[in-house]
């Protein structure tokens, strides 16, 4: 996708916190959950917020790399899910997977294969990956690049129309 055909969706810390708490509200009906698995790195912040709001004390992470700056590449599992969490899920305990975003669904598919019965939740979802998640808060178009708070710095932004101020 070229830079000119991309839309940007900058998300502030306040907005991301509100959206993550909204996710917790939606998930409260699906619980209670025995454990939460955050997909690192983007899922760490919303997983922490959701775990706090839902009183989930067991928090695990899985590290899956699929992005290199602004392009999607091959999927690589850098850190798998702890065997104790996988066993708990196999024993019928409810496990929650949390990520910031589902884009094409490639990362979600890999993690779902690790925990097939888990409830998968994301803060944001794009159309190509939306079917991979059970719960999300906001859908954005496929051609939108979400700039999360940890990606941003204060700087001038040109008007959408390309004109000047």
Residue tagged active-site, from 14, 100, 143, 165: 100
Instruction: Kindly state the helix (H) or strand (E) to which residue 59 belongs, with its residue range.
Output: strand 58-68
d(CA 80, CA 148): 24
Active site residue 151: no
Residue tagged active-site, from 14, 19, 68, 99: 99
Q: Which is it for the CA torsion 127, 131, 133, 138, positive or negative?
A: positive
Residue 36, burial from CB neighbour count under 10 angstroms (0-12, 13-18, 19+)? buried
First to last CA, the chain: 27
96: helix, coil or strand?
A: strand
Active site residue 99: yes
Active site residue 143: no
| Lookup: tokens for 1 | 């996708």
Residue tagged active-site, from 19, 103, 134, 165: 103
- Residues annotated as part of the active site: 99-100, 103
């Amino acid at each position: 996708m070229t830079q000119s055909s991309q839309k940007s969706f900058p998300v502030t810390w306040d907005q991301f916190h509100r959206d993550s708490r909204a996710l917790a509200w939606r998930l409260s009906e699906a619980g209670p959950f025995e454990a939460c698995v955050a997909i690192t790195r983007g899922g760490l912040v919303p997983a922490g917020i959701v775990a706090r709001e839902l009183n989930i004390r067991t928090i695990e992470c899985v590290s899956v790399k699929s992005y290199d700056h602004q392009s999607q590449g091959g999927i690589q599992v850098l850190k798998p899910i702890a065997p104790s969490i996988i066993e708990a899920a196999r024993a019928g305990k409810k496990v929650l997977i949390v990520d910031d975003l589902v884009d094409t669904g490639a990362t979600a598919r890999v993690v779902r294969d690790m925990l097939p019965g888990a409830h998968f939740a994301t803060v944001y979802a794009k159309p190509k990956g939306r079917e991979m998640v059970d719960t999300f808060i906001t859908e954005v178009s496929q051609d939108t690049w979400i700039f999360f708070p940890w990606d941003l710095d204060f700087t001038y932004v040109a008007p959408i129309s390309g004109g000047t101020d």
